[in-house]
Structure 1
C-alpha cells in the first residue's frame, strides 16, 4: 500500500538529508584554528582546507558510485547504508590525531554523504515532475538553508567551551536521527521499477545521461554555478581573516547570509508558477552576471573594495546562482524517467566534483585581494548562462527523447 506523504513532510525530510551532507562542511569551517594543532599542523597552515576538499571529493564520488544502487535496492535501504558509512567516517575523523588519518576518514564521511546528498533530486523525481518538481526542489533548498544558517553558529558555540571533536560527534547523532526518520518516511521507488545491478544496464544509463543534450547541459550549467559558490565556500574564512581582518565576525556573517537565500527560494516558487522554471533559471543567472560584473569592476581597483559593498554583491550573486541548483537539476532530470537514481548520482557527482575543481583554479590565487574571486564568479556565471541557452535551443518534448533499452 503506497505511503501517503504531505508535501511538507517530503520537503522537511529531504532538506534534512541534504543538510546532513552539508553539516560535514559547515561545522568544520569555524573550527579550522582548533583542528590544526590537534592534527599536527602549524598555525595558519593552508593544509587544513584539505579536510573540506577531500570531503567534497567523497560526496561527489559517493553519488556517482552509489547512485545506481538506489535504483536496484531502493531509496531507503541505500540511504541507511550511506548514513552508516557517514557515521563511520565522522567517528574516525573525531578520533584522528594526524592529517593523513583525518583525511582518510573525511573521505569516507563524504562518501557516505553522497547518498543523502543525492536523495533531494532522486526522491523528488520519484514523487513529482516538471514545474511542480522545481517548486518542491526550491522549497527543499529554502528549508535546507536553515542548516548553513544555524550550523556555523552552533559549531562556534560548542567551540567556545568544548572541542571540535564534540562538534563532529553531533554529526553522528544527526545521522542516527536520519536513519530513524528514513524508516518513518518509507520507500518511494515501486518494486516494479527496480533495475538489476549490472554493468551493461548501468553503462546504458550513463550513455543516456551524457547523450541527452538537455540533461548534460543543465548539469554543466549547475556545475559552473556551483563552481563560483565553492570559491566563496573555500576562501571566505581566509578572506575575512587575512584580507579584511574580520575573523571574529565570520561565523555570524556567514550564517546571516543564508537568511536572504532561504527567503529567495521560497519566493522563487511564486515566480516558477508564474513564468515557469526555465525562465526563472535564466533570469537568476542573468542577475548574477550583472552583480558579478559590478563586483569585478570594484575589485580591479586596489583589490580590496569596501567590505560591506563587496559582501552585498557577493551575497546577491550567491542567491541568484544558488537558485539555479534545484531548478537546473530538476530540469536536467526531466527526461530521465526510471533512471532518476543513476542520473541524480551522476548529476550530483559532476556538479559537486566539477565545482570543487573549478573553484580550486581561483581560490588558490586568493592571497591579499578578492580580484580572483570576482573574476571567477563572472566567468563561471557567463558560462552557466550560455549552457542554459544551449540546452533550451535543442529542447525536445520528453516523449521525443529515446529511452534506454
Structure 2
C-alpha cells in the first residue's frame, strides 16, 4: 500500500529535475512556467479519476481496479516519453494522473477495510513514512536519468515502476467481502456521494485537507522555479527537495509514535494550528522584506510550514473516512477529488502569480492555513473520538 500510494509522487518528482532540459526541447523560454501544467493537469486527472475508481471499488472490489489503473498508468507514461509536442505531453499527463488516482484511492479504501479511527491514522502515517522515500529518491533518480541521456527517460521510468507494483500486488488479498459490495448504478452512486457530503465530519476534514493541499501542491509545482529563477540557486533544488522529503518522513514517524499515546483528533488540531502559525510567520517575514527574504530564513519557515501540513494530512484523511466504513471507496473518491482537484486549482493560482519574488507563496500559505483550520474546527463540533 505504501508503494501504491507513492506512484503519484514518483510520476511527479522524477520529472521535476528534467524541467530545465524540457524547456528548450519544447521551445520555451528559460523562465517559462508552462511546464507547471504537467503537474496541474496530472492533479486534475487524479481528481477526475477518483470519482471513477471510488464507486467502482465499492461495487467490484479493490484488486481488479488496481491492476486496471496500473495498466493505464504505464501506457500514459510511454506516450509521455515519446511525446513529439508539448500538447501531447500535457494530454498524457492528464491520463497519467487519471490512472494514478487508482492506487491512491484504493490504498485509502483498503486501509479503511482493515482499520478505523486512531488505528487507521497509525496505519496511514506508517504508509506515509514509506511514501516519502519517493520524493527523497525520485529527484535524484530523475536527475540521474536526465544525465544518462534524456528527459524522456524520466517519463519512461513511470512504466517500469507500474510494472514492478503490478507484479508485487499479485500477493495482495481482496479486502472487500462479497456481502459488502454495493450495486453499481447511477442512483446508488449518487446516493453514496450524497451520504458522504452530508456527513459534517467527513466534509469538514475533507475541506481542511483541500486547503492544505492547495499550499502543498504549490510547493511541488513552484519550488524548482523559485530556486532557479527567483533565488538563482539551481544547484540547491534537488538537495532541498530530498531534504524536505526526509523531514516529511521523520514527521510521519513521529506522528505514528504519538498516535500510540494520543487520539487522532487532538493531534490533527495541533498540526493544523502549527501550519497556520508558521504560515503566518512566513508571510510576515516575506512582507517585511519586500517579497524576497533571505533564502536561509525563507527555507526555514517554508520547511516548517510544509512539515506541519504533512503531519496534518494523513490524520485528517483518516478522520474524514472514519464515519464511512460502508462507503470506503466512495468516501475516498470524494476526499481525493476535493483535495486533489480543488487543491490543484488553488495551487495553480499561486503558481501563476510567482514573478520574481515569493510573496504569492506567503499569502497563499497563510490564507489556506486559516481556512483549513476553520474547516477543521467546524468538523470537530460534529465528531467524537473513536474508541478502537
CA distance in 1, matches of 2:217, 2:95: 20
Q: What secondary structure, in the 3-state scheme, does the structure 2 residue paired with 1:314 have?
A: helix
CA contact (8 A) 1:226 1:322 kept: no
CA deviation profile, 1:276-313 (whole Å, cap 9, x unmatched): 10000110111111211111111012211111111111
Q: Does 1:369 align with 2:357?
A: yes
Equivalent-residue separation in structure 2 for 1:398 and 1:244 (angstroms): 46
Residue 381 of structure 2 corresponds to 393
Q: Distance in 2 between the 1:188 and 1:212 partners?
A: 24
Distance in 2 between residues matched to 1:299 and 1:15, nearest whole Å: 36
Cα pair 2:117 2:386 within 8 Å, conserved: no
Matched, 1:50 2:37: yes
Bigger shift: 378-387 or 31-40? 31-40
Q: CA deviation at 1:37?
A: 3.1
Q: State the partner residue of 2:325.
A: 337
Which segment drifts farther, 154-163 or 217-226? 154-163
Residues 31 and 229 of structure 2 are in contact (CA less than 8 Å); yes or no, is this contact kept in structure 1?
no
Question: Unmatched 5+ residue regions in structure 2?
Answer: none
CA distance in 1, matches of 2:11, 2:165: 14
The alignment's C-alpha RMSD in Å is 1.5
Aligned to 1:326: 314
SS of equivalent residue, structure 1 residue 41: coil
3-state DSSP of counterpart to 1:92 = helix
Please name the residue that 2:205 is paired with: 218
Structure 1 residues 323 and 353 mapped into 2: Cα distance closer, same or farther (>3 Å)?
A: same
Give the corresponding residue for 2:286.
Answer: 299
2:248 to 261, 270, 275: 261
Distance verdict in 2 for CA 1:398–1:153, change over 3 Å: closer
Asked if the contact 1:126/1:188 (under 8 Å) is kept, the reply is yes
Task: Kindly tell me the number of residue pairs found equivalent between the two proteins.
Answer: 386
User: Does 1:180 find its partner at 2:148?
Assistant: no
Paired residues of 2:54 and 2:106 also in contact (CA < 8 A): no
Q: Which runs of 4+ in 1 moved over 4 A?
A: 396-399
Partner of 2:103: 116
Give the drift of 1:36: 2.5
Contact 2:59 2:182 in 1 (8 A): yes
SS state at 2:158 partner? helix
CA distance in 2, matches of 1:24, 1:50: 14
- Determine helix, strand or coil for the equivalent of 2:276: helix
Task: Specify every segment of 5 or more residues in structure 1 that has no aligned partner in the other structure, as ranges.
Answer: 1-13, 400-405
1:220: Cα distance to partner?
A: 0.3
| Whole-Å separation in 2 of the counterparts to 1:88 and 1:314 | 36
Q: 1:126 aligns with which of 79, 98, 113?
A: 113
Residue 60 of structure 2 corresponds to 73
Question: Given the alignment, which residue of 156, 164, 174 partners 2:143?
Answer: 156
Task: Tell me, in whole angstroms, the C-alpha distance in 2 between the residues paired with 1:228 and 1:191.
Answer: 40
Match of 2:195 in 1: 208
Q: 2-side partners of 1:348 and 1:392: how far apart?
A: 20
In 1, the alpha carbon distance for the partners of 2:157 and 2:220 equals 22
